[in-house]
Amino acid sequence: MADKYGTNEEMLYDLLLSIFSKRGRDKVFDTALKKLNLYKKEIVLEMVEVYRSHPPNITIHTDAQEVLPKFSKNYRVGLITDGIKKVQENKVEALNIKDLLDVTTYAIEHGGKNNIQTFLVTLEKLKVKPSETIYVDDNPLEGFIIAKKEGIHTVRILRGEHRDLKDDKRCKPEFKIKNLRQLLNVIYSLHARAPQKIRAYCRRGKYVKVVEDLSELYDEGYYHEDVYENYTFQKLGRYFLEKIRTVKKFCNERGRLLDVGCALGYFVKCALDEGFNAYGIDFSGYAIEEARKLVGDRVMRADVEKEIPFEHNYFDVVTVWDTLEHLKYPDLFLKRISKVLKENGIIFLTTVNYHSLLSRIMKEKWRFIGVYHQSYTITTTDLRNWLNAAGLREVTLLTSMLALESFSNKLNSPIARGMAEVIERVLRFQIQILLRLLRPLNLGDLIVCVAKRASV
């Protein structure tokens, strides 16, 4: 600008800095141009545009550089930033933090940080509840009132230009920290609080099971009464044999295979029988104990929400059958599991489809809604976004099946049960034909996906 209008660059810079120091951001360019007798509205607009579009010369705080990757690995991370969107986008780019963020919300688009819509949009995109969320800001007057009203944990970081601002009673934060490293202590403190009881209703309504740890739900009752009437290979073998046939279509060689959520080990057994060097993991102690009776030490107990107990680039194939919906953070899980896949390794996934025809019809009575399925709202769009963020390239993705509740097994009379079973088979056959015709609309209850780990 100095060259264009014949002004000394150093002098113009000092003048702008001086005005900014005294008056803040209000009409800095207007004031400077008036002092230089160059004031024109079009010149002001030109200077504003240059300011907003230039790449800012800023660096990330050392503590943020240290802890953000840890947060990104273990939690969903969102950024709420106010100011002109273009300016804020340039800042995010300059700080090189885009890949560490799951969501970026530009508050100006939703009425600012003190507008409830800003927080509701962010929570919805992150797919988290207010009570599961921590809001961190350095300005006690920005966002804290709304966050506290919504039940979000609030943390004020004491640094920057707002360091000496006093807390308002309405926006007094729950925690105060001096740097982002201390945020880890806040998280540990929240984790250490008394756990809430989890109430699980048996599908057939016989009783209510109350536990403190989610893994306790997946006990013997889960496999033989609460959810499944009888989880046996005799009853489910055809399902797992169909899965291994699907895997073989995409895999010419029989390399290392990991089955996540291996349950009682039936698929691991099928994979071993087909020549794969197969392993399985599950976070149910009962399931692993039973699976070891079938496949020995090929299975181990592990909480995949925290870690995958294998080296990076170890497996040729990973299978995740009907497991994503049981996880609290399926997107973070996919980021972790992709690392144990070799380059061009294949992952097979099946999970629920919240946008299915039955989900829209049944609404809250849809069979996949309940405590066992923490992430029953998964859609094909969600899964595609998560795969992309995890460095996994989609090979095929479609939906199939309408998960209708069986009514035949509720009948006592053998004759009535037999007639009901025939009716059910006819209905399911007709529904499957309908689904094939409507396949492009992805109306099935089950998402079936094959993806490859992208080349580095």
**Do 177 and 90 lie in a common domain?**
yes
Q: Is residue 350 part of a domain?
A: yes
Burial class (CB in 10 A: 0-12, 13-18, 19+), 253: exposed
pTM of the model: 0.57
Mean of pLDDT values over 388-396? 94
Q: Is residue 4 part of a domain?
A: no
**Do 273 and 247 lie in a common domain?**
yes
Retrieve residue 442's tokens: 């992805």
User: Which residue among 202, 231, 260 closes a domain?
Assistant: 231
- 417 pLDDT tier (thresholds 50, 70, 90): low
Instruction: Give the distance between the most distant pair of CA atoms in the chain.
Output: 99
**Do 213 and 314 lie in a common domain?**
no
Q: Is residue 1 part of a domain?
A: no
- 371 pLDDT tier (thresholds 50, 70, 90): low
**Do 329 and 401 lie in a common domain?**
yes
Q: Are 114 and 122 in contact (CB under 8 A)?
A: no
Q: Is residue 2 part of a domain?
A: no
Q: Are 281 and 319 in contact (CB under 8 A)?
A: no
Q: What is the pLDDT of residues 334-355, one digit of tens each?
A: 999 999 999 999 999 999 998 8
Strand 299-301 vs strand 277-282: parallel, antiparallel, or unpaired? parallel
**Do 401 and 265 lie in a common domain?**
yes
**Do 237 and 267 lie in a common domain?**
yes
Q: What is the pLDDT of residues 28-59, one digit of tens each?
A: 888 888 888 888 888 888 877 777 777 778 88
Q: Is residue 72 part of a domain?
A: yes
In this prediction, residue 341 carries a pLDDT of 96
Q: Is residue 210 part of a domain?
A: yes
Q: Are 136 and 187 in contact (CB under 8 A)?
A: no
In this prediction, residue 437 carries a pLDDT of 64
**Do 355 and 340 lie in a common domain?**
yes
Q: Which domain holds residue 204?
A: 194-231
**Do 134 and 113 lie in a common domain?**
yes
**Do 105 and 19 lie in a common domain?**
no
**Do 371 and 391 lie in a common domain?**
yes
CATH code, domain carrying 446: 3.40.50.150
CB contact set of 135 (below 8 Å; sequence gap of 6+): 80, 119, 143, 144, 147, 152, 153, 154, 155
What would the DSSP string read from start to end of 2-16?
TTTTT--HHHHHHHH
| DSSP tag of 214 | G
Q: Is residue 40 part of a domain?
A: yes
- 204 pLDDT tier (thresholds 50, 70, 90): very low
Q: Which of 302, 326, 331, 106 is nearest to 200 (CA)?
A: 326
CATH code, domain carrying 172: 3.40.50.1000
In this prediction, residue 436 carries a pLDDT of 66
User: Which residue among 191, 223, 252 closes a domain?
Assistant: 191
User: Which residue among 142, 160, 191 closes a domain?
Assistant: 191
**Do 273 and 163 lie in a common domain?**
no
Number of folded domains that form the chain: 4
Per the rule left: phi > 0, alpha: psi between -120 and 50, beta: everything else, 48 is alpha
**Do 372 and 341 lie in a common domain?**
yes
Q: Is residue 3 part of a domain?
A: no
In this predicted structure, which of 96-100, 145-149, 222-226, 253-257 has the lowest mean pLDDT?
Answer: 222-226
Rounded Cα distance between 382 and 384, Å, is 6
Contacts 24+ apart (CB under 8 A), 160-166: 162/138, 163/138, 165/139, 165/140, 165/141, 166/140
Per the rule left: phi > 0, alpha: psi between -120 and 50, beta: everything else, 120 is alpha
Rounded Cα distance between 356 and 400, Å, is 9
